[in-house]
């Protein structure tokens, strides 16, 4: 097998992921071979519906080391799935297919020493149910990794939420000094190892203006002591109010903004850069990336979805690393 293949799992079959994959692969700009784990029947149906005509090369998961691969065809490991049409309503019907796809991917990663992995979106409601907060936590458990971090990477500015897919009413209960320190350490180590510099990290407060009229103030009790501890080793500052940190004259001073909850940092990042971001899981024994979008049922079958995030994810792994651009 060629060195450094990129392994992809298509995820939820009723999503825009395969449409984006067809658009990226047809640009003929990816150097490393891509191995896709999905359903041949599903791919054929969706290609016909969307107007793509790529050839498919079926691979055996047990013989990957014997193949010489390129991206002239779709290199497919077929997982059984029998859709009646190209796109259906998202439901629990696809759970078995998604689970088998991920389990096969994890087995291939372990047996073939593959360190580049991209997964398509899944339905948290139907696939993860209430067992995991998100796919990051699902994958982390499968590799017995407790200390992970969700970094939404953009070469101009990246963000990290301390809590991930959690209801707002539970956020304050899940913020801790230990959690903040571990995630900031993962971010710093990632930048130092891959980009050879210490990132400038801004840490946000939880409450508006980093203040609270209540007796217990998380900014004073948890966040400020965490920053004081982190400053001994890392280039961190804060806490900053979330309503001003993303202004141009403020964000230009940082490489990463660490927030306390998901929408506190992802909403402004997507407003600034739209699809130009990828989700990297730090702390795993391999590089796991997902495009920064969900299944997007409203766009199914329309062939209008923007492939930029998937393209960025593949390029990130294809070129090994994209150098962050300090502004």
Asked if omega into 239 is within 30° of 0 (cis), the reply is yes
318 has a pLDDT exceeding 60 = yes
Average pLDDT over residues 213-219: 82
Non-local (6+) Cβ contacts of 11 within 8 A are 17, 98, 101, 119, 120, 121, 122, 295
**pLDDT tens-digit readout, 73-90:** 999 999 999 999 999 999
What pLDDT is attached to residue 2? 63
Q: How confident is the model at residue 326 (pLDDT cuts 50, 70, 90)?
A: low
Decide if pLDDT at 321 tops 50.
no
Q: What is the C-alpha separation between 217 and 233, in angstroms, rounded?
A: 25
The yes-or-no verdict on residue 51 having pLDDT over 50 is: yes
Q: How confident is the model at residue 325 (pLDDT cuts 50, 70, 90)?
A: low
pLDDT for 15-35, tens place per residue? 999 999 999 999 988 889 999
Taking all residues of the chain, what is their mean pLDDT, rounded to a whole number? 92
Tell me the Ramachandran region of residue 28: left when phi exceeds 0, alpha when psi lies from -120 to 50, beta otherwise. Answer: left
Q: Are strands 236-240 and 256-259 parallel, antiparallel or unpaired?
A: unpaired
Does the 150-281 domain belong in CATH 3.30.365.10?
Answer: no
User: Considering the domain 1-145+284-327 in this protein, what is its CATH number?
Assistant: 3.40.718.10
Backbone region of residue 4 per phi and psi (left: phi > 0; alpha: psi in -120 to 50; beta: other values): left
User: For residue 292, is pLDDT > 80?
Assistant: no
Q: What mean pLDDT comes out for the span 227-253? A: 97
Which ranges of the chain would DSSP assign to H, the alpha helix? 17-25, 40-50, 95-112, 135-142, 168-174, 177-195, 218, 224-230, 248-251, 262-273, 308-318
pLDDT tens track for 245-278: 999 999 999 999 999 999 999 999 999 999 888 9
Confidence (pLDDT) at 324:
59
- Among 77, 98, 53, 54, which Cα is nearest to 1's? 77
pLDDT in the model for residue 45: 98
Q: Do 1-145+284-327 and 150-281 agree at the fold level?
A: yes
What is the mean pLDDT of the segment spanning 103-119?
93
pLDDT of residue 123 exceeding 90, the answer is: no
151-195 confidence digits (pLDDT tens): 999 999 999 999 998 999 999 999 999 999 999 999 999 999 989
Residues comprising the chain, all counted: 327
pLDDT of the residue at 211: 84
pLDDT, residue 22, reads: 97
pLDDT value at residue 25: 94
The widest CA-to-CA distance across the chain, in whole angstroms, is: 65
Are 188 and 317 contacting, i.e. CB atoms less than 8 angstroms apart? no
Find out whether 90 and 14 touch, Cβ atoms under 8 Å: yes
The helix/strand/coil state of 144 is: coil
First to last CA, the chain: 40
Per-residue pLDDT, averaged over 236-250, amounts to: 97
The CA distance from 307 to 123, in Å, is 19
Q: Is the pLDDT of residue 282 over 90?
A: yes
**Domain definitions of the chain by residue range:** 1-145+284-327, 150-281
Annotate 208-227 with b (16+ C-beta within 10 A) or e (fewer).
eebebeeeebbbeebbbebb
| Mean predicted confidence (pLDDT) in 305-319 | 89
CA dihedral 214, 216, 219, 223 (to 10 degrees): -170
* Angle at which helices 17-25 and 308-318 cross, to 10°: 60
- Report phi then psi at 257, rounded to 5: -115, 125
Amino acid 189: pLDDT? 96
CA distances 123 to 11, 89, 92, Å, are 9, 11, 9
Instruction: Classify each residue of 110-133 as buried b or exposed e, where b means 16 or more C-beta atoms within 10 Å of its C-beta.
Output: eeeebbbbbbbbbbbeebbeeebb
């Amino acid at each position: 097998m060629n060195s450094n293949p990129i392994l992809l799992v298509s995820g939820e079959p009723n999503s825009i992921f395969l449409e984006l994959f067809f658009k990226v692969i047809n640009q003929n700009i990816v150097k490393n071979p891509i191995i896709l784990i999905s359903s041949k029947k599903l791919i054929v149906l969706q290609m016909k519906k969307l107007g793509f005509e790529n050839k498919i090369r079926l691979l055996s998961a047990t013989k990957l080391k014997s193949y010489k691969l390129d991206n002239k065809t779709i290199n497919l490991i077929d997982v059984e799935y029998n859709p009646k049409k190209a796109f259906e309503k998202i439901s629990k019907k696809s759970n078995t297919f998604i689970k088998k796809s991920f389990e096969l991917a994890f087995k291939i990663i372990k047996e073939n020493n593959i360190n580049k992995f991209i997964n398509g979106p899944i339905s948290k409601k139907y696939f993860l149910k209430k067992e995991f907060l998100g796919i990051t936590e699902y994958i982390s458990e499968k590799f017995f990794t407790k200390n992970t971090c969700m970094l939404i990477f953009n070469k101009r500015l990246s963000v990290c939420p301390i809590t991930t897919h959690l209801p707002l009413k539970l956020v304050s209960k899940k913020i801790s000094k230990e959690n903040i320190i571990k995630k900031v350490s993962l971010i710093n180590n990632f930048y130092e190892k891959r980009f050879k510099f210490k990132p400038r990290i801004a840490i946000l407060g939880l409450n508006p203006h980093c203040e609270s009229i209540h007796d217990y103030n998380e900014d004073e009790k948890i966040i400020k002591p965490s920053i004081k501890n982190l400053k001994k080793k890392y280039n961190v500052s804060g806490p900053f109010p979330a309503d001003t940190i993303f202004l141009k004259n403020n964000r230009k001073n940082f490489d990463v903004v660490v927030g306390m909850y998901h929408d506190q940092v992802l909403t402004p990042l997507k407003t600034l850069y739209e699809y130009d971001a990828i989700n990297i899981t730090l702390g795993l024994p391999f590089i796991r990336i997902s495009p920064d979008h969900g299944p997007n049922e409203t766009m199914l079958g329309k062939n209008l979805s923007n492939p930029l995030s998937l393209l960025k994810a593949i390029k990130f792994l294809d070129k090994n690393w994209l150098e962050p651009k300090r502004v």
